[in-house]
Amino acid sequence: MLLTCENCQTIFRVDAKAIAPQGQRVRCSVCKHVWRAEPKRPVHRPQTGLLKETARGLRYPALIIAILMLVSGGLFSFRGPLTAHFPALISSFDLAGLTIMPDPSVLEVRDLKAQYTEPLLRVRGAVFNTSDFRAHAAMLQLRVLDADGTELYQQKVTPDGYFIGTGSSVPFFAQFEVNGAAQAQVIVEPVAERLPPRLF
């Protein structure tokens, strides 16, 4: 280690072990000046090699976590179309607390026809899938309104299919008794409700 005299600036080479750990008084052999010398403290430099090695070791786990997050996000976002294509996955999503519900915004009631013969009203039509993916069929809310808007009757109707292909439709039919519906208006709308499970 090198010591510099504070008075005459003379530099001396001294064995680092000769200076006590808590420091000690030293005297210049040239000008006889006395001062307190402290041992040189080791400088802690960051171990960049260790940091690079740690970062390199974390690269693959971080990549795997990112891929898992991407796949999980995709499964969550597209669980409706995915389970419409692979119905066996529905129970797995239900078990995970992600209940699969039909999306009424992609379903449209078309070809609605009502035939009334007192007191029997027959309603038929089709539920059309307007989305780019296969969709779950939804329960239909059927309402019969009088000419003044009074609701005469309402019922949930089940379409004939559980899934609807892209640009396809499934038919539905309902028949029930209602009085005074000669001038009534029939409204059928899909609702976000799953069809009841098949018994066999």
Please tell me the predicted confidence (pLDDT) of residue 123.
94
- For residues 31-55, average pLDDT: 75
- Is residue 25 within 8 A of residue 36, CB to CB? The reply is yes
User: Are residues 80 and 111 both part of a single domain?
Assistant: no
The total of other beta-carbon atoms located within 10 Å of residue 121's CB is 23
If we measure between CA atoms, which residue out of 142, 121, 154 comes closest to residue 188?
A: 142
Read off the pLDDT band of 42 (50, 70, 90): low
Please tell me the predicted confidence (pLDDT) of residue 52.
78
pTM for this predicted structure: 0.61
Tokens of 99: 């209940």
Higher-pLDDT residue of 187 and 200 is: 187
Higher-pLDDT residue of 14 and 128 is: 128
Domain-embedded: residue 32: yes
- For residues 39-55, average pLDDT: 70
d(CA 163, CA 129): 9
Q: Which residue has the tokens 């070791």?
A: 57
Structural domain count, the chain: 3
If we measure between CA atoms, which residue out of 166, 108, 175 comes closest to residue 135?
A: 166
Query: Which of 22-26, 48-52, 88-92, 164-168 bottoms out in mean pLDDT, i.e. has the lowest?
Result: 48-52
What are residue 140's phi and psi, to 5 degrees?
A: -115, 135
Q: Is 193 exposed, middle or buried (0-12, 13-18, 19+ CB in 10 A)?
A: middle
Q: Give strand pairing partners of 172.
A: 125
Query: Which of 5-9, 11-15, 45-49, 126-130 bottoms out in mean pLDDT, i.e. has the lowest?
Result: 45-49
Tokens of 192: 């976000």
What domain range is 19 assigned to?
2-37
User: Are residues 88 and 139 both part of a single domain?
Assistant: no
- Is residue 84 within 8 A of residue 163, CB to CB? The reply is yes
Q: Give strand pairing partners of 157.
A: 140
Please tell me the predicted confidence (pLDDT) of residue 106.
93
Domain-embedded: residue 44: no
What CATH number should be reported for the domain holding residue 109?
Answer: 2.70.50.60
User: Are residues 111 and 143 both part of a single domain?
Assistant: yes
The identity of residue 192, as a single letter, is A
For the cut 80, the answer to whether the pLDDT of residue 126 exceeds it is yes
Which span out of 40-44, 76-80, 157-161 was modeled with the highest average pLDDT? 157-161
Domain-embedded: residue 200: no
User: Are residues 125 and 89 both part of a single domain?
Assistant: no
User: Are residues 159 and 121 both part of a single domain?
Assistant: yes
Q: Give strand pairing partners of 121.
A: 116, 176
Please tell me the predicted confidence (pLDDT) of residue 43.
61
